[in-house]
Every structure is written in C-alpha cells, then in structure tokens.
C-alpha cells in the first residue's frame, strides 16, 4: 500500500458547466498536485459525482481549514461533499456467526496490510470463530441472540461499538437480521455479504433456491445495509458458472470463494473512500 499522504474529496451535486474547472482551479490555487481524478454524470437524474485525490506534500492549506475555504464553491454548485485523509485508519467491527471463511479472509488481508483500518472487536452470536479471532489476537465477544430478547442483545452490541469507537461494521456472514433501530446508528456504514447475485434469491438459503431453479450462474453481492432486507446500495458483485453436474454442496463451496473476494473488495473500497452513494445505488471510483 502507498505510504504517500493524500487527501480525497468526494462530491455529488446537480450536473452543470464549470464544475471540474472550479474544483481543479481551487486545488491549483493551493498548490495541490492531483494524483487521481474520476467523475461520473447520471444523465437521467442530472447528477455529477466526482472523486479527486491529491498529494499533501506542498499543499499550502491545513485540512482543518478546508471546510471554510471550500464552502463558497460548494454552496455555488449545491454540492454534497466530504473530505478524507489517506492516513486515517477507520475502526471496523466484524459481526460473524458460524461460517468462518469471510472472517478468515478479512483477517488475513488485514494482517497482510491490504486493509488500512483497525479492528478493535469481533462480535458473534456463536462461539465457533473465537479461535480464529484469538489466532489474530483480536478481541472477541460472544453475545447470544434469543428471539424474545433481540432488542437487549442489540443494545449490548451498540454499547460495545460505542466503547470501541467503531466507524463502520462488516457483516461477515452474520446470520441475523439487524433491526431498523440498530441500522439507524450506522447509516451507510454497515457492509453485508449476501450469498446470491442480488436481486435474485434474496433472504435465506439462496443456494438451495438457486439449485432448485437450475441456474447456470451463481453469485455473491456486497451491499450497504438498509431497513429493507438485502435491498441496500450494491458495492460489488461477482459470479461463477455452474452446470447440471454441480450438486448443492458444489454450489455452496464455490459460492464461498466468491463471497470472500466480493466482501474484501467492498470493504477495501469503503476504507479507501472510493464509494459514493445516491438513489440507492453506488458509484465505485477506480
């Protein structure tokens, strides 16, 4: 991973003339060396979306002063925007149940330096993956989920997340549906992996239903969690071709490989501030 200190600006606003010129000129006036710039226009909605990243070496403004300096341009073009620093390591909590393949992949990538974040806590409603957390020396906490006391369990989870100052949550095959109240505490900051190519086969046991349907492709989808089950903005998807020779166990095994890859990509892109949300969709910038 690059060790160069950079700033990242993410922008969405009504599409209009002069946007790119105004942004580039503002950065030029403050001696910014732009390293990456990518943009997208949604013609149907009349929206402009942009990600621009620049080297902080030589940049003549403290990022604490950026808000006040950039505000006139933002107000002129009716921008929604946010600024990020590449050196910031967000704090990621992982929720998991019994399946360990996504958790194992994330922890390996974290240890290898592929994910520029901190993992202060792993939460699970089962004890099956405690050994894996201990192997990577990451705190693990078991919170049982009982059907008649789910609100109490979620209140405990939220207290733990606040204690650890968690910025976002990854559901690494966490087989529980989060309540709307829980989701409201982390809007657009909960990333899920669903073992299907959404919107096909949402909900429980998608591999079973795909097998019964005789599909020729299976997939995995990583998305932000919303109050509507498996309907949040999609970050990443991938597929694998199967045939009539594959049985249900084959689908589950091959799907697990897809799940790991798709989830890790989505998490990395979120950490690197490459994802912009709008209209229940995402733009993922290169």
Residues identified as active-site:
230
- Return the number of other C-beta atoms located less than 10 Å from residue 245's C-beta: 6
Could you give the 3-state DSSP secondary structure of residue 263? Answer: helix
Please name the residue ranges forming H helices in the chain: 19-29, 66-76, 101-111, 130-135, 150-163, 180-185, 206-213, 248-271
> Do the strands 168-171 and 91-96 form a parallel or antiparallel pair, or are they unpaired?
parallel
Residues with Cβ within 8 Å of residue 255, at least 6 apart in sequence: 195, 207, 218, 219, 220, 240
3-state secondary structure of 246: coil
């Amino acid at each position: 991973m690059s060790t160069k200190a950079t700033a990242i600006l993410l922008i969405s606003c009504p599409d209009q003339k002069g946007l790119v010129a105004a942004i580039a000129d503002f950065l030029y006036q403050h001696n910014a060396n732009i390293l990456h710039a990518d943009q997208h226009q949604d013609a149907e909605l009349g929206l402009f979306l942009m990600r621009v990243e620049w080297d902080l070496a030589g940049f003549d403004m403290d990022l604490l002063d950026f808000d006040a300096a950039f505000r006139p341009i933002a107000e002129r073009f009716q921008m929604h925007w946010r600024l990020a620093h590449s050196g910031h390591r967000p704090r990621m909590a992982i929720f998991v149940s019994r399946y360990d393949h996504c958790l194992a992949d994330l922890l390996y990538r974290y240890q290898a330096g592929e994910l520029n974040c901190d993992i202060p806590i792993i939460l699970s409603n089962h004890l099956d993956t405690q050994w894996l957390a201990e192997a990577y020396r990451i705190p693990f906490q078991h919170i049982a989920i009982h059907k008649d006391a789910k609100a109490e369990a979620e209140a405990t989870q939220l207290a733990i997340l606040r204690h650890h100052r968690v910025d976002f949550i990854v559901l690494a095959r966490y087989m529980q549906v989060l309540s709307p109240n829980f989701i409201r505490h982390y809007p657009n900051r909960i990333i899920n992996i669903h073992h299907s190519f959404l919107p096909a086969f949402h909900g429980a046991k998608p591999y079973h239903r795909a097998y019964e349907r005789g599909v020729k492709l299976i997939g995995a989808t990583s998305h932000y969690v919303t109050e509507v089950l498996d309907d949040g903005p999609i970050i990443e998807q991938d597929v694998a071709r199967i045939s009539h020779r594959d049985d249900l166990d084959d689908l589950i095994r091959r799907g697990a490989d897809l799940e790991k890859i798709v989830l890790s990509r989505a998490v990395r892109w979120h950490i690197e501030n490459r994802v912009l949300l709008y209209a229940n969709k995402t733009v993922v910038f290169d």
